[in-house]
Amino acid sequence: MFFDNYQTTLSKQLVKLQSNRPVIESAAHAIVDAMRSGHFVFCSEIGHGIQGDFFNRAGGLANVRLFTWSLNLNNAMPACAQNRPGGRPGNAELELTRAAVNASNMRAGDIIITCSVSGRNVRPIETALACRDIGMKVIAMTSVDYAKRTPSSHPSGKSLHECADWVIDLMTPYGDAGVDIEGYESSLIPLSSFSEDITGWMLWGRVMEIMGTLPKEERPAVFVSYNGAGGENAYRLTHELLDRRGY
């Protein structure tokens, strides 16, 4: 039955993800050191909006900031004019990504998490390279085996795991889907979202655990539920602490 099969698959996936504990431990200590020295940790886009689960959430760190950007270009052409000659040389995705990094509030000494399950996509790779160029450290979420079997789309030929200081291996299968359902020739149900969320909270949880051993006045600003008793006031106090101290 699907429910049993799915639960078994997720249980096995959770066990696999535990192999990331050493790299998460190292990255967590780096984040703690960065936060205590006036720096921030940023989340770039993580598959299908997962970065939103790490930002401004009950039980999460207030120091975590988002780094996302978009460009809306409204100049559609009729079919007869598609791909007409005279286009400008260069890779717009590369140029825009680097411009976004350079225009951002990110600084040397900050840390960013970026993600590409296949490891091949241009934007996260260029984000990692551009951030390292300004003196930041990079945590990459990717499926290393998947990436090694998939050619990079980046002009450098590099995959995301080759552009990071720490690599969290999502352990997803080639193609991402990992559940067999009768009547279908290919596996179904992506495992990356589960893996991204779990390993992300493994990281944040370890950061909070390390900082929980500090004197009370040095512990990080964290969110509690806005909708619980006293939640609105607690939310305000968390932001006040963040604005005053930075973490």
200: domain CATH number? 3.40.50.10490
Domain-located, residue 81: no
The answer to whether residue 184 sits within a structural domain is: yes
Give domain status of residue 75, yes or no.
no
Pairing assessment for the beta strands 177-179 and 188-190 based on DSSP bridges = antiparallel
Helices 21-36/192-211 angle, 10° precision: 50
The residue segments making up the domain with residue 159 are: 22-68+90-245
Flag whether 116 is in a domain: yes
pLDDT of res. 229: 94
| Calpha distance 223→234 (Å, rounded) | 8
- 230 belongs to a structural domain: yes
Mapped onto helix, strand or coil, the DSSP state of residue 61 is: strand
pLDDT at 83: 83
The answer to whether residue 240 is domain-embedded is yes
Residue with tokens 């002009």: 155
Query: How far from 148 is each of 42, 119, 173, CA to CA, in Å?
Result: 26, 8, 12
Has this prediction a pTM greater than 0.85?
yes
Low pLDDT (below 70) residues in the chain: none
Residue 77 resides in a domain: no
Can you give the pLDDT at residue 158?
98
How many domains does one find in the chain? 1
Q: Check residue 103 and give its pLDDT.
A: 97
In a domain, 135, yes or no: yes
pLDDT score for 89: 74
